[in-house]
Chain A
């Protein structure tokens, strides 16, 4: 197993209110799994990613990565095993550094010596890598990332998160802030890179069509638990309407969620 989340509970206290974000959640991902996660707001999707990445520590339960207990590892230590892409394209890159510098930082993940960040040879290798995105970024290596569009920036972030072949890739609604055309492009890049490096992936999305379109597993969360876990076979041929029906059957009927799909699909 690449990822094992075992009986994890995480509660947030907001003033007098207690919010149970994860309620004894269990999740295992085998090597090569590409699981999509859907659920209404407050279902605990992002908390699941944060507990996995080490942003938060669970109140109870364990997190194991590639066979190692990482429950008490800080985020930067787990980062050697994990690639992560956030929703906000601004969050995954350093805006005032060049495309090449950003890529070099990612390529040298964890290594921080006094050798130059960019050598001529490294630049050539990075140019080849970034050319694979097919967005012409190899011609813009010396441009600051701030001048890139949201789609280009997010594609670059996906590349940066995958280029060191991490054990696990966490995607947190990483196409939600993009227009439909760019979202499609970034998703295609993601699928290509994940397949190329055979990276186990956990992708949170708010769009049911996207959750059905990609990956070999579909997970539905509700109130801090997994209420539905479909494998590739059960997922195949499923339509958004079928998914909505399945949700109703497991007792999840969230107007906001269904309304959101209406907008996204229609």
Chain B
């Protein structure tokens, strides 16, 4: 159970990094991830079924996510559609698009080559730990690249644009372009994560993206509560750690929750309550101290 949670935590960790980029860095709650997660799985799944190398297929899935994220960014900036609505529109469009890409609601990838087992074989990792090591490599590589990017001139400008768009404008940069690029990278990560998860679980499903944003936010918030990061490095570590802890909590809940009367279908309710509690904590704390909202 621990092993499975760690594997999943690392694979979904890429998705959580994407959500961190949009939600925390850009201050943009982006709901399109519910559509880009299965988009990555759908594109990669179709390519694998046509005999494409699973790594290239996952990259192509991520590429599709980049484009979808840019679409949300363009809707929210150039067309001035409120951010939440822009994300919802992209998500709904992708639902139909994902069905069209797959041609049916569900693709089975069982028995097909997977980049996770492939990588484990190449590295000749001891049996049983192959998936964990491969997941760790993907997650670490993405985290390192994201961290390096956020420390570049462009990445620095992007961080500033989430905190203070006026400042970025006075520095001669159009904050809209930074937002489009940021959402693009964010959804690229999410779709890449979706592609890897589908190879891990052996199927791509049009419904696999429901609740992605909530799971991503839960990972980001759980990580922040556990690590209380002060630097970017800490923040990124916290996201990955939050994702692993979140998946662990889910597998514990699925295993022992039945004794308390919970079923698997209650999972999303519980996740949403965790996120709700964490987001409401500052207001609740203030209310307890007697400050008015």
Cβ-defined contact, A95 with B164, below 8 A: yes
**Residue in chain A with minimal CB distance to B174:** A76
- For the complex, give the distance between the alpha carbons of A111 and B152 in Å: 11
Given A94-B159, A101-B156, A117-B152: A112 touches B173 (CB 8 Å cut-off) = yes
Report B165 CB to chain A, min CB distance, Å.
10
Segment at the interface with B among A32-40, A78-86, A177-185, A192-200: A78-86
- For the complex, give the distance between the alpha carbons of A80 and B163 in Å: 21
Given A105-B157, A105-B160: A114 touches B174 (CB 8 Å cut-off) = no
- Of the listed residues A104, A111, A117, the one surrounded by the most CB atoms of chain B closer than 10 A to its CB is A117
A127 at the interface (CB under 8 A from B): no
- For the complex, give the distance between the alpha carbons of A156 and B164 in Å: 15
- Of the listed residues B151, B152, B169, B172, the one surrounded by the most CB atoms of chain A closer than 10 A to its CB is B172
A75 at the interface (CB under 8 A from B): yes
A237 at the interface (CB under 8 A from B): no
Residue numbers in B under 8 Å from A93 (CB-CB): 164, 167
Given A76-B169, A94-B159, A109-B172: A115 touches B153 (CB 8 Å cut-off) = yes
Cβ-defined contact, A106 with B164, below 8 A: no
Cβ-defined contact, A92 with B167, below 8 A: yes
Residue numbers in A under 8 Å from B164 (CB-CB): 90-91, 93-95
Report A103 CB to chain B, min CB distance, Å.
11
B128-169 contacts to A, CB under 8 A, are 149, 151-157, 159-160, 163-164, 166-169
Cβ-defined contact, A94 with B153, below 8 A: no
Cβ-defined contact, B170 with A97, below 8 A: no
A239 at the interface (CB under 8 A from B): no
Given A93-B164, A95-B164, A118-B151: A112 touches B157 (CB 8 Å cut-off) = yes
A96 at the interface (CB under 8 A from B): yes
* A97 in complex: contacting residue of B154, B160, B171, B173, CB < 8 Å: B160
* B154 in complex: contacting residue of A77, A80, A106, A113, CB < 8 Å: A113
* B169 in complex: contacting residue of A75, A101, A104, CB < 8 Å: A75
A44-102 contacts to B, CB under 8 A, are 53, 74-77, 79-80, 82-84, 86, 90-97, 101-102
Cβ-defined contact, B159 with A115, below 8 A: no
Report B185 CB to chain A, min CB distance, Å.
13
Report A208 CB to chain B, min CB distance, Å.
28
Report B210 CB to chain A, min CB distance, Å.
32
Given A91-B164, A97-B163, A105-B160: A83 touches B170 (CB 8 Å cut-off) = yes
Cβ-defined contact, A96 with B155, below 8 A: no
**Residue in chain A with minimal CB distance to B181:** A112
Cβ-defined contact, B156 with A104, below 8 A: yes
Report A146 CB to chain B, min CB distance, Å.
10
B172-199 contacts to A, CB under 8 A, are 172-175
Given A76-B173, A79-B172, A94-B160: A113 touches B152 (CB 8 Å cut-off) = yes
Given A97-B156, A116-B152, A117-B155: A76 touches B172 (CB 8 Å cut-off) = yes
Cβ-defined contact, A112 with B170, below 8 A: no
Residue numbers in A under 8 Å from B166 (CB-CB): 86, 91
- Of the listed residues B167, B168, B169, the one surrounded by the most CB atoms of chain A closer than 10 A to its CB is B167
Cβ-defined contact, B156 with A117, below 8 A: yes
Residue numbers in B under 8 Å from A80 (CB-CB): 172
- For the complex, give the distance between the alpha carbons of A196 and B111 in Å: 72
Residue numbers in A under 8 Å from B163 (CB-CB): 94-97
B105-143 contacts to A, CB under 8 A, are none
- For the complex, give the distance between the alpha carbons of A91 and B169 in Å: 11
Cβ-defined contact, B172 with A92, below 8 A: no
- For the complex, give the distance between the alpha carbons of A237 and B174 in Å: 45
- For the complex, give the distance between the alpha carbons of A94 and B173 in Å: 14
Residue numbers in A under 8 Å from B151 (CB-CB): 116-118
Residue numbers in A under 8 Å from B149 (CB-CB): 114
Q: Produce 1/0 per residue, A146-190, CB < 8 A to B.
A: 000000000000000100000000000000000000000000000
Q: Produce 1/0 per residue, A110-147, CB < 8 A to B.
A: 11111111100000000000000000000000000000
- Of the listed residues A90, A96, A106, A112, the one surrounded by the most CB atoms of chain B closer than 10 A to its CB is A112
Residue numbers in B under 8 Å from A104 (CB-CB): 153, 156
Subset of 22 A-B contacts with CB under 8 Å: A74-B174, A75-B170, A76-B168, A79-B169, A79-B170, A79-B171, A82-B170, A90-B164, A92-B167, A92-B170, A93-B164, A94-B159, A97-B160, A101-B156, A105-B153, A105-B156, A108-B153, A109-B171, A115-B152, A116-B151, A117-B152, A117-B156
Supply 9 further A-B pairs (C-beta < 8 A) apart from A97-B156, A97-B159, A109-B172.
Answer: A53-B170, A76-B168, A76-B173, A92-B167, A94-B159, A94-B164, A101-B156, A104-B153, A161-B170
